[in-house]
Amino acid sequence: MTYLAKPKFRHPELKKNALGFTHRDYEGSISTLCAGCGHDSISSAIIQACFELNIEPHRVAKLSGIGCSSKTPDYLLGQSHGFNSVHGRMPSVLTGANLANKDLIYMGVSGDGDSASIGLGQFVHCVRRGVNMVYITENNGVYGLTKGQFSATADKGSKSKAGGTNSDSPIDLVGMAMMIGATFVARSFSGDKTQLVPLIMAAIAHKGPAFIDVISPCVAFNNHAGSTKSFDFVREHNEAVNRLDFISPREQIKVDYEPGTTEAVTLHDGSVIMLAKLHKDYDPHDRVSAMNYMHSRAAAGELVTGLIYMDPNPGDLHASMNTTDVPLNRLGAKELCPGSSALEKINASLR
Amino acid sequence: MSKPIKAVNDFVVKFANVNGSGSASANELFARAILRMGVPVATRNIFPSNIQGLPTWYEVRVSGKGWIGRRGGVDLMVAMNPQTWDKDVTSLDAGGYLFYDSSKPMPESKFRPDIHVIGMPLTEICNRTYQDPRQRQLFKNIIYVGALTYLLDMELETVEALIQQQYASKQALLDSNIKAVRMGHDYARENLSGICALKVARADAVGNRIFVNGNDAAALGSVYGGATVAAWYPITPSTSLAEAFMKYCRKLRVDPVTKKNNFAIVQAEDEISAIGTVIGAGWNGARAFTATSGPGISLMQEFLGLAYFAEVPAVIFNVQRGGPSTGMPTRTQQADILLCAYASHGDTKHVLLFPEDPRELFEFAAQSFDLAERLQTPIFVMEDLDIGMNDWLCAPFAWDDSKAYDRGKLMSHEDLEAGKTFGRYLDVDGDAIPYRTLPGTHPTKGAYFTRGTSRDRFAKYSEEGSVYVDNMQRLVRKFETAKSLVPAPIKRNAKERARHGVIYFGSTAAAMSEALVALEADGLHLDTLRLRAFPFSDEVIEFVNAHDQVFVVEQNRDAQMRMLLVNECAIDPARFISILHYDGTPITARFITSAIAERLRMKTKEAAE
């Protein structure tokens, strides 16, 4: 980490996106995480995804809980409102924010302690309600800020830096998200930006509960031999089921894909996900078979990554609540207050 | 035998029933019929944490003078529950009446020599008339209402008119209920004539008042106050508030053209999630509330500290019940005052409102959303079970259509464009309330990072001691500002110069008003101050200073309001005398009168010695 303030200077020929923003317009404060932390790579992938998607930064609200991962929203999208809330309770804050204004993009950034331990309840309930959001866990299997205790996603038998062995079963957030109704589920690796960036782009375009579990090694406390969340271990056991290209609406599909190996999935807003199949039988639209596949590979000690499941026509909480099209926070007394004559009628009914 | 109690429009009828037996609607019919005769009633439901089988009571105080507090004592017991027979018989005042089901003979030892017994073979009549066991049960209730109508000289046609109104669209039910009520009335006329000297006489003492419970009033006030997001978790006695909000929203908040909802209600997985959702919505500019009770407030502590420190508007209805722990979940208390005033870890202070009845609760509910946004902080509306779940006779709800919502200090896109300096925690106006921006306001200006961690005036993270202190001091000053915005206390002077004062608040008001009249008749004069909010204004300190001693009447064991007064106003504790009532039943005028009279006499005696 560095104590230097980020210089305001930018290269005059820095690439601009369709809105005229440069990459720098999507950055935040300088990270205070450890040098080499996987989380910083994820922040940079989020920045890249928003830049590529031509999102106006102020149309994003970024929310988090407490922990190393939850600090990261400060290090990206400096023009967006952020809310670093309470440990394990980001999902409820995000739910409320989303209810207040359905027009913004809600990005929840959390960690394995924040989402699998203290916040497991809020994580599952937020997903099962179908809140339209991108929920990212930066999963390193360890409590970083308190220096190296196992988290609930640590694999059974994995070793801590201090030498202990984890004897508890791990919580698989991906499996859980699938089970309780997430309509976009992916897993990725902080060290694989080519996989991660299009996944984030697709998750943002997805109008429903999208969950991405990103394995993000903790260089300070969980990157040693015997850890199952280290850079080396993940590289060796990473089994990507597909590769994604995200193509925005109006963008031309330039690359020629070999027939039979690629599926084009058109999303609600007209964007297209080109899905290159790495496993010919893997179908990311079949929730049950996807779950079976995941479990069988996990039993074999492999870590499935890529787009694991997606429903191309998701619903969300606002749809199931039939809320008005205008964001609730923009309604005024005219729409909200029934007035004195209606109150007179109510009074009469109470006599 | 004691002389039978004789009274017109001034007595208490108590119904002892079994929970789940369908007695509630019959008993309510009885109370409403008296109201329709122009005679005020005060009703109290005394119920267990149970759906079926445990004892439940319904008290109807008939009061031509319009006293709506609980009086205490019972003049007529309608004893329909064998489980509680002994206790019910004991609770009757001497000379009172015991109405009971005489189908099975009762040994003489089960009665009291000083009461008057009115037996009616209800089960026998029902078994003779109805085949279906459920009907036998349900109509038994309506039959006794018919009998009471005769016994108390009530208007049968008024009772029938209410039944007609209730079952207007269900002819079969209408006919059978009318039949049952007449059956009871006829039986009483033929067999029970001249026994009961309690009478209801038509009067004109109800006026345009309405009969409504507090949870309904709070829900309706929230609709009028512009709440759009509600998140809650079921807990007695607040559940009916959230459900009433749903009911009123469906009626009043569905867009007539699009048929879409101008509201969002989430039944959360727990109270923590409920308050989190409210804070998220408040942060993003929607008026949001949760409804809960003491255990829920305990769970919300961490989030309440965040909302205080990060300055996020939120409204919390706390329908207080008997604590600690599960305590007495279906009984009333005012025992969460300190829990709410200082909720969460670290130095915090919160705004509390104390409504006296459903009408004021409606007003405070609506106002709480203005206060929350103006002050950017949680506002607690301190109901209790007595107000929340009982029907109260109160002044009609009123709304001024010219009044606009106060959305507080929001910096708009135009403000930012015009180059106004935005510091999220910067005190620009000298009232210690900073400006805020909502997410999505402006592409390049006004974004900030909300956190529960210390930060400077421009929302930048800082654990610098001076920066932290600067912010904490501003929060204290903001609380000072709150004093001028919250409802002021209401002062009432005694007819004669009084050396003693009384401070009270919330649901105690009804019993207090009555107690004061009784004390005055006894030559005991007291000035009163009804607290309506915390923080306390200077008027409260002046009131205490203007009297030798001040009684503080409250419904908890530890004199929590007194502690708050001592603490916040720096008043010598010896200036206060606590009158405490905390057995879970609503405080009564009799209790207050005798407690205060006794202490005042003791004082006079001490002075004489």
Q: Which of B220, B442, B452 sits opposite A346 (nearest CB)?
A: B220
Q: How far is CA A22 from CA A4, A19, A39, in A?
A: 22, 9, 22
Instruction: Give the mutation candidate from B258, B449, B460 for the A interface (greatest A CB count, under 10 A).
Output: B449
pLDDT-above-90 percentage for chain A: 79
Write down the pLDDT at residue A3. 54
Phi-psi region of B248 (alpha: psi -120 to 50; beta: other; left: phi over 0): alpha
Q: What is the CATH number of the domain that holds B43?
A: 3.40.920.10
Cβ neighbours of A334 (radius 10 Å): 7
Q: pLDDT tens-digit profile of B384-414?
A: 999 999 999 999 999 999 999 999 999 999 9
pLDDT band at B2 (very low <50, low <70, confident <90, very high): confident
Give the total number of structural domains in chain B. 4
Nearest Cβ partner for B441 among A58, A98, A322: A58
- Return the SS3 of B570: coil
Element (H, E) at B553: strand B549-554
A61 inside 8 A of chain B by CB: yes
Regarding whether B429 and B385 lie in a shared domain, the answer is: no
Q: Domain range for residue B251?
A: 212-394
CB contact under 8 Å between A329 and B262, yes or no, is no
Q: Within A150-280, where are the H helices? A: 173-179, 193-205, 231-237
Structure token pair of residue B427: 């005190």
pLDDT above 60 (res A2):
no
Residue in A89, A98, A338 nearest the CB of B223 = A338
Q: Is residue B138 part of a domain?
A: yes
Q: How far apart are CA B302 and CA B290, in angstroms?
A: 15
Pairwise CB contact (< 8 Å): A92 & B284:
no
pLDDT above 80 for A254: no
Residues of B in contact with A31 (CB under 8 A): none
Q: Is A102 exposed, middle or buried (0-12, 13-18, 19+ CB in 10 A)?
A: buried
Q: Measure the CA angle with vertex A159, ends A157 and A161; round to 5°.
A: 165
pLDDT digits (tens, 9 = 90+) for B21-32: 889 999 999 999
pLDDT(B1) > 70 = no
**Which of A57, A96, A101 has the CB atom closest to B279's CB atom?**
A96
Domain boundary among B454, B485, B516: B485
Q: Which residue of A has its CA nearest to B359?
A: A347
B423: number of CA atoms within 13 Å, CB side? 14
* Chain B nearest-CA residue for A318: B264
DSSP A70-137: HHGGGGB-TTSEEEE-STT-HHHHHHHHHHH-TTSEEEEEEEHIIIIITTHHHHHHHHHHT--EEEEE
Q: Are residues B173 and B314 in the same domain?
A: no
Q: What is the pLDDT of residues B193-244, one digit of tens each?
A: 999 999 999 999 999 999 999 999 999 999 999 999 999 999 999 999 999 9
Contact state of B229 with A94 under an 8 Å Cβ cutoff: no
Question: Which domain CATH number covers B563?
Answer: 3.40.50.920
A81 vs B278: CB contact, 8 Å cut-off? no
* Same domain, residue pair B498 and B455: no
Poorest-pLDDT segment among A263-272, B257-266, B318-327, B409-418: A263-272
Inform me whether the pLDDT recorded for B553 exceeds 60. Answer: yes
User: Domain check: are B89 and B120 in the same one?
Assistant: yes
Give the separation between CA B49 and CA B27, rounded to whole angstroms.
Answer: 19
Q: Is A339 on the interface with B (CB under 8 A)?
A: yes
Q: Which residues of B touch A329 (CB under 8 A)?
A: 228, 281, 284-286, 438
Do B559 and B498 lie in one domain? The reply is yes
Whether A256 shows a pLDDT value over 80: the answer reads no
Flag if B302 and A321 touch (Cβ within 8 Å): no
User: Minimal Cα distance from B436: which residue of A?
Assistant: A81
Whether B314 is in a domain gets the answer: yes
Question: Mind listing the pLDDT tens digit for each residue in A129-168?
Answer: 999 999 999 999 999 889 999 999 999 999 999 999 999 9
Residues B554, B561: Cα–Cα separation, whole Å: 7
Per-residue pLDDT tens digits for A189-202? 999 999 999 999 99
Of B469, B485, B501, the one marking the end of a domain is B485
Residues B245 and B390 in one domain: yes
State the average pLDDT over residues B118-146: 94
Let me know whether B501 and B533 are in one domain: yes
Residue spans per domain, chain A? 23-330
Q: Which residues pair with A108 in a beta bridge?
A: A63, A135
- When CB atoms are compared, the residue of A63, A86, A103 closest to B306 is A86
Closest Cα in chain A, distance from residue B274 (Å):
7
Partner-chain contact A125 B282, CB within 8 Å: no
Query: Which chain A residues are Cβ-neighbours of B452 within 8 angstroms?
Result: 84-86
Query: What pLDDT is recorded for position A281?
Result: 81
What number of other Cβ atoms are within 10 A of residue A263's Cβ? 15
A350 contacts B263? CB cut-off 8 A? no
Res. B65: pLDDT tops 70: yes
Cβ contact (<8 Å) for A337 and B226? yes
Residue A85 contacts B where some CB pair is shorter than 8 Å = yes
Same domain, B357 and B236: yes
Comparing A1-5, B365-369, B570-574, which segment has the lowest mean pLDDT?
A: A1-5
Contact A64/A45 with Cβ under 8 angstroms? no
CB–CB contact B449 A73 (8 Å): yes
Q: Would residue B405 count as lying in a domain?
A: no
Does the beta-carbon distance from B448 to A56 stay under 8 Å?
Answer: no
Q: Looking at chain A, which residue has its C-alpha nearest residue B461?
A: A74
User: Domain boundary at B199, B232, B249, which?
Assistant: B199
The whole-number average pLDDT for the span B294-319 is 98
Q: How far apart are CA B60 and CA B174, in angstroms?
A: 24
Task: Look at residues A192, A116, A196 and name the one whose alpha carbon lies nearest to residue A154.
Answer: A116
Residue B194 backbone dihedrals phi, psi, to 5 degrees: 80, 5
Q: Nearest CA of chain A to the CA of B441: how many Å?
A: 7
Beta bridge pairs of residue B309: none
Residues B373 and B437 occupy one common structural domain: no
Distance CA A184, CA A306 (A): 11
On whether the CB atoms of residues B261 and A324 are closer than 8 A, the answer is: yes
Query: Cβ of B400: how many Cβ atoms within 10 Å?
Result: 6
- Mean pLDDT, rounded, of chain A: 92
- Give the best residue of A72, A86, A318 to mutate against chain B (max B CB count within 10 A): A86
pLDDT on residue B178: 96
CATH number at residue B253: 3.40.50.970
Compare A4 and B454 and report the one with higher pLDDT. B454
Interchain CB distance below 8 Å, A58 and B269? no
Question: Candidates 3.40.50.300, 3.50.50.60, 3.30.360.10, 3.40.50.970; correct CATH number of A23-330?
Answer: 3.40.50.970
* CB proximity A96 to B under 8 Å: yes
Give per-residue pLDDT as tens, B97-114. 999 999 998 899 999 999
A residues 107-146 near B, CB within 8 Å? 121-122, 125, 129
* B375 shares its domain with B431: no
Cβ atoms of B570 and B492 closer than 8 Å? no
How far apart CA B528 and CA B502 sit, in angstroms, is 5
Name the average pLDDT for chain B: 96
d(CA B411, CA B543): 40
B106 and B169 share a domain? yes
Residue A302, C-beta contacts closer than 8 angstroms, at least 6 positions apart: A237, A238, A239
Same domain, B60 and B182: yes
Q: Where are the alpha helices (DSSP H) in B376-464?
A: 385-389, 413-417
pLDDT in tens, A282-315: 899 999 999 999 989 988 888 999 999 999 889 9
Tell me, what's the pLDDT at A278?
83
Strand-pairing partners, residue B74, are: B92
Residues forming a β-bridge with A268: none
The structure tokens 């202190």 sit at: B469
A228 touches B: beta carbon within 8 Å? no
pLDDT at A1: 43
A290 touches B at CB < 8 Å? no
Among the partner residues A95, A101, A324, nearest to B277 by beta-carbon distance: A95
How far, CA to CA in Å, does A7 sit from each of A21, A27, A28?
17, 12, 12
Inter-residue contact A92 to A121 (CB < 8 Å): no
β strands within B333-439, DSSP E: 351-353, 378-384, 391-394
- The pLDDT tens digits of the residues spanning A122-131 come to 999 999 999 9
**Coil, strand or helix: which one is A28?**
coil
pLDDT score of A253 more than 70: no
With a pLDDT cut of 90, the percent of chain B lying above it is 94
State the Rg of chain B over Cα. Answer: 27
